Amino acid sequence: MFEKYTLKNGATVVLVPQSNTKSITTMIMFPVGSRNETEKLSGVSHYVEHLMFKGTQKRPSTLQLTKEIDRLGAQYNAFTGKEYTGYYIKTDASYVDISLDILSDMLFASTYDPQEMEREKHVIVEELRMYKDNPIMDIDNVFEELMFDGCALGRDIGGTEKHVLAYERDEVLAYRDTHYQPNNTKIVLAGNITEETKQKIEKYFGEIENKETSDRSYEPGLFGSDKKEDCLKVVYKDTDQVQMMIGVPGVKRGSDLAPTLSVLNTILGGSMSSRLFIKIRERLGLAYTVRSGAEYYQDTGYLYVQAGLEAKNVNKAIEAIKVEIEKIKSEGVTAQELADAKTHIKGRLTLSLEDSSSVASWFVRKATLSNEISTPEEWIKKIEGVTLESVQQIANDLYDLDALRVGLIGRLKKEDIIF
């Protein structure tokens, strides 16, 4: 069970007690990410996330701030997506007061020192280079640039080096103030919660005033051209292994089809006994890693299959993946596959939710990105309702292989790819 309520300044609070843990994870999320940015400010949401660790009025430097967290033995970090930015601290439950104090201080009292801001630009440039140098980390950027060509969803979350180095302080602060207001804040605590928890949340977050009206607008998601010549993107890189991601347009977050898609992807490429793993790795020996999945956004989404393989085997792998998808479309899946997929999803979710940080992540994402909070139990109930017919139907409805997009990073040429 969980409790949801609203502070007088509009901040949303969700408490999820867990009796079997001595930890508490405090996670704060804002519904702002890279798709909320203008082209000029590409990557600024990620930049703002970094700057929250650079010092506050109360804790003037990065060292003072992080040292105070580190001495607790805490786990902490922040993350930016295309539709959200989050911050968290996981500690022994006795330190929740300090966690709330630090997070509140970072998020609403950071000083944004001009020298620190300039210095951090170069840190982010190195982070962007790190991703570009690692195809496994970069392939989703390449694929989404292809899938959403021409709209904000197709841009890299971190922006580009040129964008980052050109940020101006007043523009960054204006962007922050547009989105970092109490009434746009989602506060989730999961773990060993006590009667005093509410009072502490009120103490550190309840008195912060809204200074501006929060803006949750975003540019609508649009798929790029589905002409065959526009559905392939190859980034040449001198690597021994090619990273490949292929996929088709899917459905938005909160779609009634999501549970069925989860089951379909589990059967197709969600485990070591899935159809693609057995076919691509065990039978054909083409790849060490192969998996399928789905990405959901507020108004759109996509399905994908990802694999790492030798350049000469790319066309063979694409054809084998298409054959497996066509089998599900024409023949469906077996009753045993359906039953096993359901228990697999339930089992993995159960194991993940033993940890307070995973519980906090579940609820903070629901509170931030959905109209209502659904529990893991409600999700499993929907999974249980998936039928053989619905799995085959969704495969036929969504896996239009004539609209297949293919993104590749490696030592190959565009003209050599057949799909």
Active site residues: 49
User: Considering only CA atoms, which of 85, 223, 221, 216 is closest in space to residue 152?
Assistant: 221
Distances (CA, A) of 67 to 72, 74, 86, 108, 178: 9, 10, 20, 19, 30
- Distances from the Cα of 17 to the Cα of 74, 148, 355, angstroms: 19, 40, 12
Cα 396 from Cα 398, distance rounded (Å): 6
Max CA separation in the chain (angstroms): 65
| d(C-alpha 353, C-alpha 339), whole Å | 22
Q: Identify whether the C-beta of residue 33 lies closer than 8 Å to the C-beta of residue 84.
A: yes
What's the N-to-C CA distance of the chain in angstroms? 48
Sequence-distant (≥ 6) Cβ neighbours of residue 94 within 8 angstroms: none
Amino acid (one-letter) located at 66: T
For residue 179, how far is the Cα from the chain centroid? 19
CB atoms within 10 A of CB 384: 12
Question: Around Cβ 237, how many Cβ atoms within 10 Å?
Answer: 16
Of the candidates 185, 147, 141, 184, the residue with the CA atom closest to the CA atom of residue 42: 141
E-only strand ranges, 31-172: 75-80, 85-92
The pair phi, psi for residue 364, each rounded to 5°, is -70, -35
Tokens found for residue 310: 């030798």
